[in-house]
Chains A and B, each alone.
Chain A
Amino acid sequence: MIYQQMAIPPRSEHLWRYTPWPRIHPSVTDEVPIADDVIFSLEGGAALEKIQQPEDSFDEIARAFLQAAGGSYNRLVIHEEPEPIHINARASGHVAVGHLDLEVKGSAVVFIHISGEPEWVGLHITGKIHPNAQLSFGFINELDSNTKFLRCEDWMIERDSELEHATLSVGGFRCKSDLRSTLNGTGASIRQSVTVNAVGARHEDEHVEIHHLHGHTNSDLVMNSACAGSSHFIGTGLLTIAEGANKSDASQVFRNLLLSEKARAEAIPELEVHADDVSAAHGAASAPVDKEQMHYLMSRGLTPEESQAMIVNGFLLNAFSNLTNKHLIEEMRTRLTVHLECELKR
Chain B
Amino acid sequence: MTDEAQDVIGDYRYGFHDPENSTIRFDKGLSEQVVRDISELKNEPQWMTDIRVKAYRHFVERVMPDWGNCSLLDQIDFESIIYFLRSSTKTEKSWDEVPDDIKNTFDRLGIPDAEQKWLGGVTAQYESEAVYHSIREDLEEQGVIFLDMDSGLKQYPELIKKYFGTVIPHSDNKFSALNTAVWSGGSFLYIPKGVSVEMPVQAYFRINAKNMGQFERTLIIADEGSSVHYVEGCTAPTYSTDSLHSAVVELIAMEGAKIRYSTVQNWSSNVYNLVTKRAVAHKNATIEWVDGNIGSKLTMKYPSVLLKGEGAHAEVISVAYAGEGQHQDTGAKVHHLASNTTSNILSKSISKKGGRSSYRGLLQVSPKSTGCRSKIVCDALIFDGSSRSDTYPTMEIGNSTADLEHEASVSKVSSDQLFYLMSRGFTEDAAMGLIVNGFFEPFTRELPMEYAVELNKLLELEMEGSIG
Chain A positions within 8 Å of B, measured between CB atoms, are 10, 12, 14, 227, 243-244, 246, 256, 258-288
Q: Which residues of B contact A279 (CB under 8 A)?
A: 409-411
Binding site for A on B (CB under 8 A): 65-67, 367, 380, 382-412
Q: Which residues of B contact A269 (CB under 8 A)?
A: 391, 393, 406, 408
B367 to chain A, nearest CB (A): 7
B432 to chain A, nearest CB (A): 13
Q: In whole angstroms, how far apart are the Cα atoms of A10 and B388 in the complex?
A: 25
Contact B409 A280 (CB under 8 A): yes
B408 touches A271 (CB 8 A): yes
- Find out whether the CB atom of A286 lies under 8 angstroms from the CB atom of B403: yes
Residue from A244, A281, A287 in contact with B385 in the complex, judged by beta carbons closer than 8 Å: A244
Q: Is the CB of A284 within 8 A of B405?
A: yes
Please name all residues of chain B whose beta carbon is closer than 8 Å to the beta carbon of A264 when the two chains form the complex. 367, 396-398
**Can you name 11 A-B residue pairings with CB atoms under 8 Å?**
A259-B400, A266-B394, A266-B395, A267-B395, A267-B397, A271-B389, A271-B390, A278-B382, A281-B407, A282-B391, A286-B402
A16-B118 Cα distance, complex, nearest whole Å:
50
Determine the main DSSP class of A at the interface with B.
Answer: strand
Q: Shortest beta-carbon distance, B384 to chain A, in Å? A: 5
Which of A227, A261, A271, A277: most chain B Cβ within 10 A?
A271
Q: Please tell me if the beta carbons of B410 and A258 are within 8 angstroms of each other in the complex.
A: no
What 20 new A-B contacts, CB under 8 Å, besides A274-B385, A274-B388, A285-B404?
A: A243-B386, A246-B385, A264-B397, A266-B397, A268-B395, A269-B391, A269-B408, A270-B391, A271-B391, A271-B408, A274-B387, A275-B382, A275-B385, A276-B384, A276-B385, A277-B385, A278-B412, A283-B405, A283-B408, A286-B403
Q: How far is the CA of A342 from the CA of B102 in the complex (A)?
A: 77
Task: Return chain B residues, CB-CB under 8 Å to A12.
Answer: 65-67
- A285 to B363: give the CA distance in the assembly, Å: 12
Distance between B226 CB and nearest chain A CB, rounded to angstroms: 34
A284 engages B382 (CB within 8 Å): no
The answer to whether A256 touches B410 (Cβ under 8 A) is no
Verify B403–A284 contact, CB threshold 8 A: no
Task: Establish whether residues A243 and B385, one from each chain, have CB atoms under 8 Å apart when the complex forms.
Answer: yes
Q: Which residues of A contact B407 (CB under 8 A)?
A: 281-284
Question: Which residue of chain A is the closest to B405 with respect to CB atoms?
Answer: A285
Considering the complex, give the chain A residue whose CB is closest to the CB of B375.
A285
CA distance A261 to B369 in the complex (A): 10
Contacts known (A268-B394, A273-B380, A278-B410); A284 close to B404, Cβ less than 8 A: yes
Give the residues in chain B near A243, CB-CB below 8 Å.
Answer: 385-386
Alpha-carbon distance A264/B395, docked complex (angstroms): 11
Contact call A284/B395, Cβ cutoff below 8 A: yes
Q: Which of B65, B400, B403, B412 has the most CB of A within 10 A?
A: B400
CA distance A166 to B385 in the complex (A): 32
CA distance in complex: A185, B386 (Å) = 20
Instruction: Known A243-B385, A284-B404; judge A270-B393 contact (CB<8 A).
Output: yes
Chain B proximity of A89: nearest CB distance (Å) = 32
Q: How far is the CA of A281 from the CA of B377 in the complex (A)?
A: 11
Chain B neighbourhood of A277, CB < 8 A: 385, 412
CA of A274 to CA of B367, assembled, Å = 37
Chain A residues contacting B66 (CB-CB under 8 Å) are: 10, 12
Cβ contacts under 8 Å, B394 to chain A: 14, 266-268
Q: A287 → chain B, closest Cβ, in Å?
A: 5
Chain B residues within an 8 Å CB radius of A263:
400
The answer to whether B395 and A286 touch across the interface, beta carbons within 8 angstroms, is yes
Contact B367 A262 (CB under 8 A): yes
Q: Is B409 a contact partner of A258 (Cβ separation < 8 A)?
A: no
Q: Which residues of B contact A282 (CB under 8 A)?
A: 391, 406-409
Nearest CB of chain A from residue B435's CB, rounded to whole Å: 14
Instruction: List A contacts of B397 (CB < 8 A).
Output: 256, 258, 264-267, 286
B400, A281: Cβ atoms closer than 8 Å: no
Residue contact B411 to A280, C-beta cutoff 8 Å: yes
Nearest-neighbour CB distance to chain B for A184, whole angstroms, equals: 19
Return chain B residues, CB-CB under 8 Å to A283.
Answer: 405-408
CA distance A278 to B380 in the complex (A): 11
Which residue on B lies nearest to A238, using beta carbons?
A: B392
Taking a contact as CB atoms under 8 Å apart, the answer to whether B390 and A272 are in contact is: yes
Q: CB-CB < 8 A to A10: which residues of B? A: 66
Contact between A281 and B393, CB atoms less than 8 A apart: no
What's the minimum C-beta distance from A21 to chain B, rounded to whole angstroms?
A: 16
Chain B residues near A260: list those with CB within 8 A: 400
The answer for the CA separation of A273 and B388 in the assembled complex, in Å, is: 5
The complex places the Cα of A67 from the Cα of B47 at a distance, in Å, of 57
Closest to B387 in A: A276
